[in-house]
Structure 1
């Protein structure tokens, strides 16, 4: 048994290696459109790909030379992983991937792009990356396509480029807003490019997909790294503990309720999470926008009372409550979040907040944080200056 996996892109002529593999084939496996796109030898048996397990069994049992036809690059979110996992070690002749072709169609470099797959997976993590990052390519599937992505991006400033039937007879490229995408019916297959800015191009970096997480200059940044009002900011020592309990990461959505200057939300965005900051003070909302811009991240800011805003937000994975009172804790506990972290300066609110979380099914830990920082004395020595103590409640559902 020998197997060659051939990438098919619908436009380029088969390479010499592809032609040689096809000429020897006694079994060809692939989607109907791929089987129709190649010339097979007389007597070659065709197996249209449906459920994967029967096809893998046929390939393992086949005595001759088999070819497996796949879209684009079979090693890029393709069938190659499943073949190798089943014990088949094929030769591979790739073609252009759909992501390469989509970016080429709009004439844009894509080494800054994050590529995610919603094919056979939950759409939520892919959506959250689209909400967090400036350049994302999404490999779609029925029920997790341009319309669903567009609906999920309501409230975020994005442009979607939808590439339909790449390499096929009905290939088309559409540039639309998320709202426009949500209202249309799209041909399969397609790939979606989600862009924060269609014109600007990120500076050339050293790592495909942009800078890695966690950020290179650390986290729990000094208060001086943020615009804030009269010291009204979550202190860096508290932020360090809060971030540890929230566990923000790419693919997750964080609510920052009672965001103030937005230091926690900005730090979560620096860790790769999508973030919605809710704050009722217009001046503080401006500070959140300024702080997010200063650190090169995207934080969606919603101005208004927590109780008015939260019912209209997409479901979170984790919530930080820095303000908003008891109502904010109630709404956080009632959400889909698996993790809720509450920072409290007033002791009389601790028991109530903890009770709300426990009643909602959270296991709750609490810690009082009281830091003393070194301060230089006029004579050159050091003394310790205490910061105000804060109690952090961390709930895990």
Structure 2
């Protein structure tokens, strides 16, 4: 049997759990905090694979093993690796308080509506994008993915709560800082978790399902759901296909270039992605911000001209281009250089299609497109209905072609 004890956030290790162990595995600080039985082998966790090999030797001989872990070892912890290797029926897990639960408790906030993301040994950009998109996020930190790195990347209006050495009566610290303050400090190695909060939305409504908000029941919303100028808005038929090709999801970053009303950016944010809207007009910027507020989402709005405005933005997973005029080929080319997955371009002028397509294929994208023509039901006098045609729009999309380790397109 493998006994797994969660400790380190104030929960003591029961002496009886240690007494019979012949192998004790854990981080150095956890091992140093308990009195080990005479003769027990001690393994300090570093790389996981060698430690699991030693555990397997003991398990194969039915010798008792104790694993000491932080907080709740079933929450982004070692229980997953142990269960995959040895089977859940061989585990006796005794969970402590997770660092996330402890951090939210310290600041007096509920966390059933929080999104929890691990940046420990993982790409930081996913955590950053979740922090951009959602009002209450807990980030499990790691080397190169701590408060300083988060502070340098998240919106300036966020509040960061940095929790260090949780459960240690002498060293525990819980500090509230701005992103700029977090970015300017060296936080050492004791940080357990960082909470990223939008103070205006940190207390959400009562929830039935914990975690990330449920995906909306519908998308491709009617144009009437957005403030816009002179019908200058991506029609819902076009938006529906554009969203299908963009594939916005939690952890993604989407650019909406030439955003106009920001309808695409708002819809991407409703689907969980972080969204940046680039719009050159001041009144357009105000409309985008108002539309985001009306739909209860956050959209980062940049008032500038593309493609120059794109230089300072973080790399996107997907890009929607809904404007550009004569600069469209240069904008498509700039977006194609940066997009990790796909670029979608909506064009009313068919003349611009070849140049946009060439920009995408030249950047290594496979390319496809369709001319969308739709007719909507419209009332006529006498309680009858006609079909009213909308303006045709050409939708072009490019998908990045995967490249093998040998540099060959797959």
The equivalent of 1:22 in structure 2 is 18
Q: Distance in 1 between matches of 2:156 and 2:352?
A: 34
- Alignment CA distance shift 1:199-1:285 (3 Å): closer
**Is the Cα–Cα contact under 8 Å of residues 256 and 321 in structure 1 kept in the other structure?**
yes
Stretch deviating more after TM superposition (335-344 or 293-302): 335-344
CA drift at 1:210: 4.4
Q: Distance in 2 between matches of 1:67 and 1:333?
A: 52
CA drift at 1:199: 7.8
Query: Equivalences for 1:179-328 in 2 at 5 Å?
Result: 179-190=180-191, 191-197=193-199, 200-213=202-215, 215-216=216-217, 218-325=218-325, 326=328, 327-328=330-331
Q: Which runs of 4+ in 1 moved over 3 A?
A: none
- Alignment CA distance shift 1:26-1:291 (3 Å): same
The equivalent of 1:7 in structure 2 is 6
The equivalent of 1:344 in structure 2 is 347
**Is the Cα–Cα contact under 8 Å of residues 9 and 97 in structure 1 kept in the other structure?**
no
- Alignment CA distance shift 1:271-1:166 (3 Å): same
Count of matched residue positions in the alignment of Structure 1 and Structure 2: 390
CA drift at 1:156: 4.4
Counterpart among 332, 335, 358 of residue 335 in structure 2? 332
Q: Distance in 1 between matches of 2:84 and 2:12?
A: 30
**Is the Cα–Cα contact under 8 Å of residues 9 and 98 in structure 2 kept in the other structure?**
no
CA drift at 1:19: 3.1
Q: Distance in 1 between matches of 2:288 and 2:125?
A: 25
Secondary structure at the residue paired with 2:241? helix
Q: Distance in 2 between matches of 1:157 and 1:385?
A: 45
Report the TM-score when normalising by structure 2.
0.92
- Alignment CA distance shift 1:7-1:198 (3 Å): farther
Query: Equivalences for 1:27-66 in 2 at 5 Å?
Result: 27-62=23-58, 63=61, 64-66=63-65
**1:371 equivalent in alignment to 2:370:** no
Q: Distance in 2 between matches of 1:97 and 1:200?
A: 20
Secondary structure at the residue paired with 1:208? coil
Q: Distance in 2 between matches of 1:36 and 1:79?
A: 19
State the superposition RMSD in angstroms.
1.4
Q: Distance in 2 between matches of 1:65 and 1:38?
A: 17
CA drift at 1:283: 0.6
Q: Distance in 2 between matches of 1:137 and 1:324?
A: 38
Q: Distance in 1 between matches of 2:103 and 2:9?
A: 14
- Alignment CA distance shift 1:385-1:156 (3 Å): farther
**Is the Cα–Cα contact under 8 Å of residues 250 and 271 in structure 2 kept in the other structure?**
yes
Q: Distance in 2 between matches of 1:57 and 1:261?
A: 57
CA drift at 1:22: 1.2
Alignment deviations for residues 51-92 of structure 1 (CA, whole Å, 9 cap, x no partner): 111211111111421100000001000000001111243110
Unaligned runs of 5+ in 2: 401-410
Unaligned runs of 5+ in 1: none
The equivalent of 1:104 in structure 2 is 105
The equivalent of 1:83 in structure 2 is 82
Stretch deviating more after TM superposition (343-352 or 162-171): 162-171
- Alignment CA distance shift 1:374-1:111 (3 Å): same
